[in-house]
Amino acid sequence: MRAIKSLNGAAVIAELSEPEVKPQHVKVRIDYSSVSIGTELLMIRTNPEAFLGYSATGIVLEVGEGVTHVKPGQRVACYGTPAHREIMISPKHLTALVPDGVSAEEAAFSGIGAICIHALRQANLQFGETVVIIGVGILGQIIARIAHASNYRVIAMEPLKERRDILAAAGITQVCSNDEEMKQALAQTTGGKGADSVLVCASTRGESLIDNAMHWLRDRGSVVIVGDTGCEFDRDLFFSKEASVHISRAGGPGRYDKDYERAGFDYPIGYVRWTEGRNIEDFLRMIDENRIDIQSLITDRLAFNDLPEFYMRISKNPRPTMGVTVSID
C-alpha cells in the first residue's frame, strides 16, 4: 500500500506492506485525509523519516479484539495516527462513526476539529463570554466557527485580508487587522473590560504574542496557546491582571496516553467528561446539525500522488491555502 513520508527535507510516496489489525484497533480503508499544513511542513523539515497526516475518514475493513462500537462496512473518522495512506490502523477511542449528514470530505477534518474543540474548552468560557482569536488559519477558522455556534462573542485578529474575508463570510463580523481595530472591537463588545480569554492560534515560533494577548484580556482572564508560537512574556503584565496561561495539547485528554490510545482503556465520563475521542464525536455532531460549515473552508482538493509536490509549493506560498483534502484514488 502507498503512504506519504518525509525523507531528507522532502515528502515522498512509500510502499508498505498492508498492516494487520491489532486488539483495541480498527483497520480502515481511507477515502480522504486532510492536511495540517503547519504541523506537516514542520515534520518534513525536522524529521527525516516521519509518516505524515493525522486526520482522515474511510470505511471499516476489520475490527480487532475489544472493539464493539463500529463494524466492517461503516463510515468512520480517525485521528492520531499517520493518515496519508491507503489503509490505517486506528485506535478504537480515536475512531468515530460518521453521521449520515456529514460528507467524507468534512469528516476528514475530524482530527483537526478535535484539536479546535479542546483548545476552546481550555479557555473555560461560559455562555455569552468574549473570546479573542489571534490568527485565523485553518485552526483559528474552525475555532471561531465553533465559538460562534456556542454563543460566545468572537473577535478575531488576522493580518491577511484573504483569511479575514473567509471568516467574515461565515457570519463573524468582528475581524480585525491591527491593534487599533481590536481596541475598538473590545470597547464595543466588552465596554472596555477586555476579553474573557485570548486564543493564540498563529504559528510564529520566533515571536511571542502573549504580551499582545495580555493587553486585550480582562482582569483574571486566560490566554490559551494553540499555535506553535514563542512563549516569552512580561511578568508585570501577568501580575497586573493575575492572568493564567494554558498550552492546549492536541485533541484532548487521552492524547499520548498509551493506556487510552493503544491499550483501549477509556476514562470514566464522570471524571473526564471530554476525552479526545468524545471531542471527535462532538465535532461530527456540529457538522451534522449544520451548526458549523466546513465545506467553505476547503480551498484545495488533491489526488494522493500530488501531495509531495503540494508540500513544496505551499512552503513557498501559503497565502491562498486554507483547508486541504487528499483523496485516496
Confidence check: pLDDT of 209 > 80: no
Stated pTM of the model: 0.94
Task: Return the pLDDT at 208.
Answer: 62
- Predicted confidence band of residue 237 (pLDDT cuts 50, 70, 90): confident
CA distance 304 to 287: 25
Question: Average model confidence (pLDDT) for the chain?
Answer: 93
CB 105 within 8 A of CB 86: no
More confident residue, 138 or 329: 138
pLDDT tens profile 12-63: 999 999 999 999 999 999 999 999 988 899 899 988 889 999 999 999 999 9
Contacts of 292 (CB under 8 A, 6+ apart): 142, 145, 146, 149, 286
CA distance 231 to 248: 13
Percentage of the chain modeled with pLDDT above 70? 97
Confidence check: pLDDT of 207 > 90: no
Cell of 292: 458549523
Confidence check: pLDDT of 11 > 60: yes
CB 275 within 8 A of CB 254: yes
Instruction: Indicate the range of 46-50, 101-105, 150-154 predicted with least confidence.
Output: 46-50
Task: Return the pLDDT at 117.
Answer: 98
More confident residue, 214 or 211: 214
pLDDT tens profile 61-75: 999 999 999 999 999
Cell of 270: 464522570
User: Mean pLDDT throughout 73-86?
Assistant: 97
User: Mean pLDDT throughout 251-261?
Assistant: 96
CA distance 97 to 325: 19
The three-state (H, E, C) secondary structure of 260-284, written as one string: HHCCCCCCCCCCCCCCHHHHHHHHH
pLDDT tens profile 113-136: 999 999 999 999 999 999 999 999
Give residue for cell 474543540. 117
What 8-state DSSP symbol labels residue 181?
H
Contacts of 242 (CB under 8 A, 6+ apart): 219, 220
CA distance 183 to 192: 8
Task: Return the pLDDT at 77.
Answer: 98
Task: Return the pLDDT at 229.
Answer: 67
Three-class SS state of 15: strand
Torsions phi, psi for 31 (to 5 deg): -100, -50
Contacts of 267 (CB under 8 A, 6+ apart): 253, 254, 260, 275
Helix extents (H) in 47-109: 104-107
Helix extents (H) in the chain: 37-46, 104-107, 110-122, 138-149, 161-169, 179-190, 210-215, 235-241, 258-261, 276-288, 307-316
Percentage of the chain modeled with pLDDT above 90? 83
Beta strands 153-157; 10-15: pairing state: unpaired
What 8-state DSSP symbol labels residue 49?
T
- Predicted confidence band of residue 214 (pLDDT cuts 50, 70, 90): confident
CA distance 40 to 37: 5
Task: Return the pLDDT at 232.
Answer: 73
Instruction: Indicate the range of 61-65, 191-195, 241-245, 310-314 predicted with least confidence.
Output: 241-245
